[in-house]
């Protein structure tokens, strides 16, 4: 347990404190003695956590200083052993050696690692429950509230955690109406935790009530979370924040702040002041009501040597998502993303025309799957696909679900592309070939009410 000492003049005192669920145990007395121990039980874990922090603040204010952390709050570090885990986080031996070292330091996380590899889930859960209040620090109350909240398909938790080997593995945090209107506070609390040292995955929902901007997030994360592999920013429901009322202004800086990232999902309006590039990224999803030409050019100017999956929600003209398709030329050259095998051009007003542009590109032969779903994809686009059937014949998956196609159009596409075609959930007013031809002949295409799935 953490030990605090006060040595001044003739006074030489120690004070130790341990939080376990609803119980706080203190031991105090003269240095060199066993001291006197007392345990207080509180109404609930939240109250105990608050009291625990208050007691420490009070002792520090009186002049006590931390003499030994007991491995509970400030987990000891061993750069050499942690580097072995960083190089291969699935290396069981590296984890076990680190766990043995932690146990030698008196850190209960060492026991958690041992129980994890012994397969003793029951004891591991008990151990985590005992120390979770301390290991989660400023996030603890939010996690407890989320666990106790009634389940709703429309309300995601403000804080949820998954543990692995006694350390945080995945965390989701978000601002919450009426409690903490700024998600940044929760991110800051997370970054202070020794238990987040090996964090693998982070999801951030609502970041601010009202205009939901993630400004400053890149600077906050820069140099932190060196083991982070997966980041999802903007995990918001419509009721929390419309996609057009969220802004991630510095995608380029976010990529530079997390050099070990393997997957990135962003949702909202986006900006960048320089090219987008990353050496380790395997998957990138950019969901927007309108991806601007500036961001498209920043993407094209960058390099992603290991990127295998790219999904763009390009959006509507009224939200800035209607730049010339020539802006995609660097991407479609196949040179900026040489490992790319999946391309999603989703939620796009330009889906019909993109089929032709992609068909003539050097990138298409390298792809195994193409996703055009959720877009303003019409019978005109379907005819474009059929015209270029030979160029698309090698694909194993072609998705045109959630578009504007009538049953006759879907049947024709399926007769050409067979089982590789996904064309589910066409809109109720799906447009037939005859309706499309008549609208084109009379110049009334705009009256067909063709739109993307997401734009708000």
Whether residue 270 lies inside any domain: the answer is no
Domain count, the chain: 2
> Is 251 within 8 Å of 272 (Cβ atoms)?
yes
Band of pLDDT at residue 231, cut at 50, 70 and 90: very high
Whether residue 115 lies inside any domain: the answer is yes
Do 7 and 54 have their domain in common? yes
Do 84 and 53 have their domain in common? no
Whether residue 21 lies inside any domain: the answer is yes
Higher-confidence residue: 104 or 371? 371
Do 15 and 61 have their domain in common? yes
Do 22 and 63 have their domain in common? yes
Tens digit of pLDDT for each residue in 260-289? Answer: 999 999 999 999 989 999 999 999 999 998
Do 103 and 54 have their domain in common? no
Domain containing 92: what range? 79-132
What's the pTM? 0.83
Tens digit of pLDDT for each residue in 147-167? Answer: 887 655 456 788 999 999 999
Do 9 and 36 have their domain in common? yes
Report, as an integer, the average pLDDT of 125-135. 86
218 vs 277: CA distance, rounded Å? 15
Do 125 and 91 have their domain in common? yes
Give me the CATH number covering residue 16: 2.20.140.10
Whether residue 89 lies inside any domain: the answer is yes
pLDDT at 179: 76
Whether residue 213 lies inside any domain: the answer is no
H helical segments located in 178-278: 183-191, 217-221, 251-257
C-alpha distances (whole Å) from 46 to each of 62, 167, 179, 263, 421 are 25, 21, 15, 35, 52
Tens digit of pLDDT for each residue in 313-357? Answer: 998 887 877 778 888 999 999 999 999 999 999 999 999 999 999
Whether residue 341 lies inside any domain: the answer is no
158 vs 147: CA distance, rounded Å? 10
């Amino acid at each position: 347990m953490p030990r605090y000492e006060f040595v001044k003049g003739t006074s030489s005192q120690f004070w130790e404190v341990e939080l376990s669920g609803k119980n706080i145990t203190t031991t105090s007395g003269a240095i060199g003695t066993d001291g006197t121990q007392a345990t207080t039980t509180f109404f609930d874990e939240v109250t105990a956590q608050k009291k625990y922090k208050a007691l420490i603040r009070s002792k520090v204010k009186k002049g006590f200083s931390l003499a030994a952390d007991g491995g509970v709050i400030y987990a000891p570090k061993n750069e050499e052993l942690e580097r072995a885990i960083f190089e291969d986080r699935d290396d069981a031996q590296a984890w076990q050696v680190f766990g043995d070292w932690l146990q030698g330091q008196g850190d209960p996380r060492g026991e958690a690692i041992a129980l994890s590899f012994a397969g003793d889930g029951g004891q591991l859960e008990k151990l985590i429950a005992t120390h979770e209040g301390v290991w989660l620090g400023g996030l603890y109350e939010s996690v407890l509230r989320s666990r106790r909240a009634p389940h709703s398909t429309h309300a995601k938790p403000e804080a949820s955690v998954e543990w692995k080997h006694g350390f945080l593995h995945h965390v989701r945090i978000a601002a919450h109406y009426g409690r903490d209107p700024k998600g940044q506070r929760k991110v800051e609390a997370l970054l202070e935790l020794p238990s987040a040292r090996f964090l693998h995955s982070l999801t951030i929902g609502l970041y601010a009530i009202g205009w939901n901007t993630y400004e400053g997030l890149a600077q906050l994360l820069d140099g932190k979370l060196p083991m982070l592999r997966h980041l999802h920013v903007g995990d918001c429901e419509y009721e929390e924040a419309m996609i057009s009322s969220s802004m991630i202004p510095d995608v380029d800086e976010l990529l530079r702040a997390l050099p070990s990232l393997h997957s990135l999902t962003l949702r909202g309006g986006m900006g960048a002041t320089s090219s987008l590039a990353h050496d380790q990224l395997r998957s990138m999803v950019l969901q927007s009501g309108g991806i601007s030409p500036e961001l498209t050019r920043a993407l094209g100017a960058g390099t992603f040597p290991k990127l295998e999956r790219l999904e763009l929600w390009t959006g509507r003209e009224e939200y800035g998502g209607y730049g010339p398709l020539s802006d995609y030329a660097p991407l479609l050259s196949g040179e900026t993303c040489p490992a790319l095998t999946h391309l999603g051009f989703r939620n796009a007003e330009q889906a019909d025309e993109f089929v032709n542009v992609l068909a003539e590109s050097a990138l298409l032969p390298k792809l195994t799957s193409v996703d055009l779903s959720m877009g303003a994809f019409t019978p005109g686009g379907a005819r474009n696909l059929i015209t270029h059937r030979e160029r698309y014949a090698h694909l194993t998956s072609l998705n045109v679900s959630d578009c504007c196609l009538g049953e006759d159009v879907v049947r024709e596409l399926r007769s050409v592309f067979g089982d590789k075609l996904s064309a589910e959930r066409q809109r109720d007013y799906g447009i037939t070939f005859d309706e499309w031809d008549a609208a084109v002949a009379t110049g009334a295409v705009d009256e067909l009410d063709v739109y993307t799935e997401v734009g708000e």
